[in-house]
Amino acid sequence: MNRESPLITIGIPSHNRAALLPQALESALHQQCEAPFEILVVDDASNKETREVLTAIKDPKLRIIFSENALGVAGTRNFIVDNMRGQYLIWLDDDDALLPEALSSHLRILNTNAHAQISYGNLRICNHELKPEGEWRYRQIDEKFLLYTMLFYDPIPNGGTMVHRSVFERTGRYDQTFSLAEDYDFWARAAAKGCRFVHNDSFVYAYRKHPGSRGLSEDVTHAFDANAKVVQKILENVPLEQIFTLYNWKQAPKPSAALAFATVALIFCKYRKFESALEALQRSEAYGRTRESVAVRGLLHSARGDNQQATELLTEALALHNPHLQMIFEAAELLPKKHRKPGL
């Protein structure tokens, strides 16, 4: 194997994980893959114990770069990207593990999907001892609906996902203003740039659940803030027509815009960003009052504790959705008078 020209770089950002890092490294070193690969660990100003673990391992496939200054999560990922030697980079967190055929299965998928640059697989969910307890299965998403899907959640795992270096050249690096969801933001920007994603329907990664797991230890408010920031960046950089591709923009531009902004308002409600939700709702209703905008306005009132107004608005939204319900609501005097038909 030519160690100077690996096809794949296994990138491991590491910080103070002396107890768990050896299993991550072992899983990387024992990949069942004929293609040449390297393992690049960037140690983000770790303690003495972690450094001792790293320096004790002697293997020609392993490269270690020690950073004296704290880079942070996104900064460490960027350092790995800048120093990778492979044409592909696959991510491995220092408390998780790659399954034995992760590299080879991704290469098979990418070789049979010539236009794809990003391959993502399924994850085993494991306990602290890396014994499987469950699974996360992902799915292939039509590229026409990928950005739309990304408004609602992150459909791409970071762990075990293989990325061609051209994606970084097209998309740029990880946004270092994120301390959480930097991968979600990166996938959204890659999708906006037209990068192609393919789902590898194999289990490639073991995600370890433990008290220090990054995805489990963050508070909900922090996660909501980060996810809402990703959504806001998508909206600022991509036209609505490219996100909401399922709407009929040519023949019905105003109703499409009204529904799109109502949907955006609902997403911001999910993350408890009520001012942003209200702004999106006002933009929706500038194109016309719809059952969707009425329903979201009702949810906003509910979130703010105005239950009576919320009930009236949600009842109105149901009535707008179904004329038969409107008749029932009117007969039961559940609709406010301003929404009743004349004579009732």
For residue 48, what are its two tokens? Answer: 């003495």
Q: What digits encode the pLDDT tens for the residues 142-156?
A: 999 999 999 999 999
Q: What digits encode the pLDDT tens for the residues 156-200?
A: 999 999 999 999 999 999 999 999 999 999 999 999 999 999 999
**What are the extents of the domains in the chain?**
8-221, 247-339
Q: What digits encode the pLDDT tens for the residues 226-244?
A: 999 999 999 999 999 999 9
Contact 31, 110 (CB under 8 A): no
Q: Which residue has the tokens 């609902």?
A: 266
Is the pLDDT score of 307 beyond 90?
Answer: no
| DSSP one-letter string for 160-226 | T-EEEHHHHHHH-S--TT-SS-HHHHHHHHHHHTT--EEEEEEEEEEEEP-TT-HHHHS-HHHHHHH
For 8-221, CATH number? 3.90.550.10
pTM over 0.85: yes
Highest mean pLDDT among 45-49, 96-100, 268-272: 96-100
Q: Which residues contact 219 (CB under 8 A, 6 or more apart)?
A: none
Query: What is the pLDDT averaged over residues 33-53?
Result: 95
pLDDT at 144: 95
Please give the backbone phi and psi of residue 136, each rounded to the nearest 5 degrees, phi first.
-120, 110
